[in-house]
Structure 1
Amino acid sequence: MKKIATLALVTALLATTAHAQEKMTLNVAVFPSLDSSIKAILPAWNKKYPNVAIKLQTQEIGDHHTAMTTALATGQGLPDVMAVEIGWVGKFAEGKGLEDMNKAPYNAAQYKKLFTPFTIAQATSADKRFVGMPTDIGPGTFLYRKDILDKAGVKPETMMKDWDSYIAAGKVIKAKTGASLINAAGGIYGVVSRTNLKPGEGIYFDSKNNLLVGPDNARFVRAFTLAKQVRDAGLDAKIGEWSNEWYDAFKKGTVATQFSGAWLTGALQNWMAPDTKGLWRVQNLPEGGYASWGGTFYAIPTAAKNKAMAWEFIKFMTLNQEAQLKAFTDNGAFPALLTAQNDTIFSQGVPFLGDQKARVLWRDAARKTQPIDVNKYDSVADQIVNTELTNVLEQGKDIKKALADARTQILRRAR
């Protein structure tokens, strides 16, 4: 029966690539700003597939993944193509509601070498199913306001030497300019917990599903400790990401630095704080660390109705250098495709960053970022650990007690 089903899908795929004669609509579920990346390349798609209309189903990132979780569980409202952000890919992969692209008719193994290596591991489940083709990645980067650092007499290179230097610089910045070092102390945890992972480790679990969170794990203890030092010194603005206050801080220059993926530059440029053009610069993460910070994959639900054309769309968006570069120039979505990273645009300065040649820096960071394993309980662990971090920062909870409690809660949920 499996052979018959595979043969049927292969036949459908061959028919699709010969160009569908009947008009059809392909439903693609995404989140911002992936929708704008698709819209930017639609003229080229329509030229190649004039009879296939793309219908975008766009929701905010959290609502999108909640809706897709429900759709996969119930089989209702499933799109033909589903965008999955890295924070959810482990959960979706283990749920087995997505097509394994290693198998026929996709045979995606032949394409894996074309992408930034670490992103392939991110889309591979514990049982080695490949559930999503990467479209963009998030090389971790340190953004800073050059005007604020100049006013404080702080050099970014010195600031990034180590975390002690970063915090010391923050005290100078606060004293001389009044600007906070960072929007929220928890952002420090976000960097430290992602960098310098050992082979076979994910952020929260190792390759054998052993939980890494706990009071004896030096990485988590240090991440919590540094975040608390920033909070205790009054260096963070206590502003959450993706809030109006966060956007205002960028616009008004009340926060001097931000850790994120390279994609944040595009968001700042396009809608968060376009009037700050020329004031920002970027550096690599502190202590020579490299980390993946976001990333998006295209997946096909197992119960999707138009799998053959869905696969054509995914290849068009991920293996097509034009599509990859359109997304990059449109909204800063850093291309996962290696050939796109070799385009001449990477040697050009970025106007928003004062013509700094930041793309070369990000490309180098992406190629030095090590693969990390994903786990279906990553999102659960992330929520629990961040709640305990909040208890440390806002209620003065002992760090080792908080990590011990986080470990207990994660193990309970994982069972």
Structure 2
Amino acid sequence: MRYRRAGLARGLASTAVLAALAAATTACGSGDSGTTADGKIELTVATFNEFGYEELFKEYEAAHPNIKITPRKVGQAAPHHQNLFTKLGAGSGLADIEAVEEGYLSQVMAKSGQFNDLKQIGPSDVREDRWLQWKTDAVTTKDDKLIGYGTDIGPLAMCYRKDLLEAANIKTDPESIKATFATWDSYFAAGEQYVKATGKPWFDSASQVFNAMHNQHKTGYYDRDDNLVIESNSDIKSTWDKVTKAVAQGQSAKLVAWSDEWETGFKNSAFATRTCPSWMLGVIESNAGPEHKGHWAVTGSFPGGGGNWGGSYLTVPKQSKHPKEAAELAGWLTAPQQQIKAFVAKGTFPSQTEALLSPELLNKTSDYFGGEKVGQLFSEQANKVAGAQYKGPKDGDIQDNVISPALLSVEQGGSPEDGWKQAVEGAKKAAK
């Protein structure tokens, strides 16, 4: 699921509201890695937004005097991945290590032959059980090649406006909230109650809720043989019906995620609940502002049990001139110790099983969210994810450019039936 990493888990890493994402910058370089003028091995590392690696690069160079790391960092995921796919097609110009965001992973997996198998070239002490199993499964090919080391994740919880729920006579004590958010049916039932009591929307966007529900399905838009199954997958149609019924009841604020109106909606109390990956805490704090400190709360009770939204991997393209050295660096950067350092630096929530047990993570609290032990909460949510849903070749395109517009058409007054027809036909066209 594609996401903005701006403000990634800022509510975890700091109680202060951080500045907006810096403008995109790209380091100069041809991407044809070699050696420096003084004979060092040069390793280029291409990332986007905030991975928390700046100080780690310095630490690695100090311990490996024969290595020079040249970072290429851009501000957003989209231009980074556009560059990645362009240079994959050209056959040259890629960095030794290329970061890949979860939402683009299906496109990378479709080109897995252009990436090194890290089981073959990676350090022998980097075992697959370093990571949560579902994190590794998602980047393992059908013929059992591992093409990426996991960095961060976005385990899902539910964020809600405690004051708004209480005003609608919806109880917010821990046991009551647990029951309210136990299933999607109980979630939408509470939303119906909220709308009737207040005349205001329950959630921000139909597509945001739909995507969270869809990613819990055992099978998504594709089966494991890359057959498009949107029309025959009854789980998808059931999710569509539940979400569009909620839209008809007035539960959606009809806001396009990441738009100016959506960002302002947090401050204006335009909705009462929000599907909430770990990195969303910082987004809420930044957009809602200090006046809503203590109004927002987060609970580990998530409909359907849990899920993940966001996270990335480090890959080593076959274009690399120094694949073994690149794999060694990628392995070091994704070790539990380094991921905790990245978490402290930028709030990137770790995917490593050992890191998820770190006291530094488990003891992290958020003043903005009422002193909640958010580190422990999201660590528990990460362990609730049953498995990685298989993503087919055009999965991201279908989600972003077919399903979301079709749901928006329903929010804007179209019928659910016409919207579903638009979704199915659009998916078939995208999959060609």
> Please, what TM-score do these two structures have when normalized by structure 2?
0.80
243 and 327 in structure 1: CA distance in 2 versus 1, 3 angstrom threshold: farther
1:132 Cα deviation (Å)? 0.9
Matched, 1:336 2:351: yes
- 1: distance between equivalents of 2:295 and 2:381? 22
User: CA-to-partner distance for each residue in 1:118-139, whole Å, 9 max, x for gaps?
Assistant: 0111111233321111011121
Displacement after TM superposition at 1:402 (Å): 4.5
Q: Tell me whether 1:49 sits opposite 2:58 in the alignment.
A: no
The AA in structure 2 aligned to 1:387 is: P
Q: Describe how 1:273-288 pairs up with structure 2 within 5 A.
A: 273=288, 275=290, 276-284=292-300, 286-288=302-304
1:175-186 mapped onto 2 (5 Å cutoff): 180-186=201-207
1:373 matched to 2:394? The reply is no
Higher helix share: 1
C-alpha separation in 1, matches of 2:179 and 2:191: 12
What is the aligned counterpart of 1:170 among 184, 191, 202?
191
* Per-residue deviation, 1:221: 1.8
Instruction: State the one-letter code of the partner of 2:395.
Output: D
Report the TM-score when normalising by structure 1: 0.83
Return the alpha-carbon distance in structure 1 between the equivalents of residues 410 and 129 of structure 2. Answer: 43
Answering whether residue 156 of structure 2 is matched by residue 136 of structure 1, we say: no
Contact preservation (8 Å) 1:133, 1:298: yes
Checking the alignment, whether the CA contact within 8 Å between 1:125 and 1:374 is kept in structure 2 is no
Q: Give the conservation status (yes or no) of the 8 Å contact 1:101–1:131.
A: yes
Query: 1:154 Cα deviation (Å)?
Result: 1.8
Residues 254 and 330 of structure 1: CA distance in aligned 2, closer, same or farther (over 3 Å)? farther
3-state DSSP of counterpart to 1:135: strand
Determine which of 17, 29, 32 is the counterpart of 2:49: 32
> Does the 8 Å contact 2:178/2:301 carry over to 1?
no
Please list the CA deviations of residues 65-91 of structure 1 after superposition, one character each: whole Å capped at 9, or x if unmatched. Answer: 112111111134312211111111121
Alignment match of 1:237 (pick from 233, 236, 253): 253
Range with bigger deviation, 358-367 or 138-147: 358-367
Q: Contact 1:40–1:326 at 8 Å: present in 2 too?
A: no
Separation in 2 of the partners of 1:83 and 1:277?
Answer: 34
| Kept after mapping to 2: 8 A contact 1:141/1:259 | yes
Give the equivalent residue in structure 2 for 1:314.
Answer: 330
User: In structure 1, what residue type is equivalent to 2:381?
Assistant: A
Q: CA 1:79/1:108 → structure 2, altered by over 3 Å: closer, same or farther?
A: same
Check the 8 A contact 1:143/1:258 in 2, yes or no: yes
Q: Secondary structure at the match of 2:53?
A: helix
After the TM superposition, which residues 15-414 of structure 1 pair with which residues of structure 2 at under 5 Å, given as runs?
22-34=39-51, 37-50=52-65, 51-96=67-112, 98-106=114-122, 110-155=126-171, 156-174=177-195, 180-195=201-216, 197-198=217-218, 201=219, 203-214=220-231, 216-269=232-285, 271-273=286-288, 275=290, 276-284=292-300, 286-319=302-335, 321-348=336-363, 349-371=365-387, 372-382=389-399, 383-399=401-417, 402-403=419-420, 406-414=423-431
Secondary structure in 1 matching 2:247: helix
Distance in 1 (CA, whole Å) between partners of 2:419 and 2:105 is: 27
- State how far apart, in whole Å, the 1-side matches of 2:344 and 2:228 are: 39
**Hey, what's the Cα distance between the residues in 1 that align with 2:370 and 2:89?**
47
Q: 1:110 to 1:317 in 2, by over 3 A?
A: closer
Q: Deviations over 1:199-224 (max 9, x none)?
A: xx3x212223333311x533212221
* Contact kept in structure 2, 1:213 and 1:403, CA below 8 Å: no
Change (3 A) 1:317 1:102: closer
Shift in Å, 1:59: 3.5
CA shift, 1:344, in A, is 0.8
Which stretch shifts more, 378-387 or 111-120? 378-387
Tell me how large the CA RMSD over aligned residues is.
2.9
Q: Which runs of 5+ in 2 are unaligned?
A: 1-34, 172-176
Provide closer, same or farther for how the CA distance between residues 237 and 398 of structure 1 changes in structure 2, counting only shifts above 3 A: closer
Q: Across the two proteins, how many residue pairs are aligned to each other?
A: 387
Superposed CA deviations along residues 91-150 of structure 1, whole A, max 9, x for unmatched, are 112213542324432267951111011011111123332111101112122111223223
Task: Give the residue type in structure 1 aligned to 2:56.
Answer: I
3-state SS in 1 of match to 2:383: helix
Q: Given that residues 213 and 407 in structure 1 are in contact (C-alpha distance below 8 angstroms), is that contact kept between their aligned partners in structure 2?
A: yes
Moved more, 357-366 or 117-126: 357-366
Q: Assess if the C-alpha contact under 8 Å between 2:266 and 2:287 holds in 1.
A: yes
Q: Is the 8 A contact 1:136 1:336 kept in 2?
A: yes
Unaligned runs of 5+ in 1: 1-15
1:166 partner SS: helix
Number of the residue aligned with 1:5:
none
* Inter-partner Cα distance in structure 1 for 2:180 and 2:135: 29
Q: Secondary structure in 1 aligned to 2:386?
A: coil
Rate the CA distance shift 1:247–1:408 in 2: closer, same or farther, 3 A. closer
Query: % of aligned pairs identical?
Result: 26
One-letter code aligned to 2:390: D
Q: Which residue is 1:8 aligned to? A: none
